[in-house]
Amino acid sequence: MALFGRAPKPDAAARRRVEAWVRGAGGYGPDTAMTVSEIVCADPACPGTETVVLIFAPGAKTRAVKIAGALEALSAADVAAAFERDPL
């Protein structure tokens, strides 16, 4: 039984919006690559749908920031709270 699945693909505008909030919250410039994904976890210990941002800053280890909730439903405050829980 698979524990992870994919939700319908959120629109590109929602991805760009969340990426912009991550850049602001983490102080990342345009030289930092990012991916913004949404996963659905079927394990009861998981929060259900969560957004995962992988951050590829030059000269640093890849960082994963997990934010509970669907990508399209996130707010700038949700992203900021994720960085407060898991600072650099």
Task: Note the pLDDT of residue 86.
Answer: 74
pLDDT by residue (tens digit) across 18-62?
Answer: 999 999 999 999 999 999 999 887 778 777 889 999 999 999 999
| Residues 44, 45, 51, 52, CA torsion sign | negative
Domains of the chain by start residue, with CATH: 4-85 (3.30.160)
Mean pLDDT along residues 10-17: 88
Whether 7 has a pLDDT exceeding 80, the answer reads no
Q: Does the reported pTM lie above 0.75? A: yes
**Predicted local confidence at residue 3, as pLDDT:** 53
pLDDT at 2 over 60: no
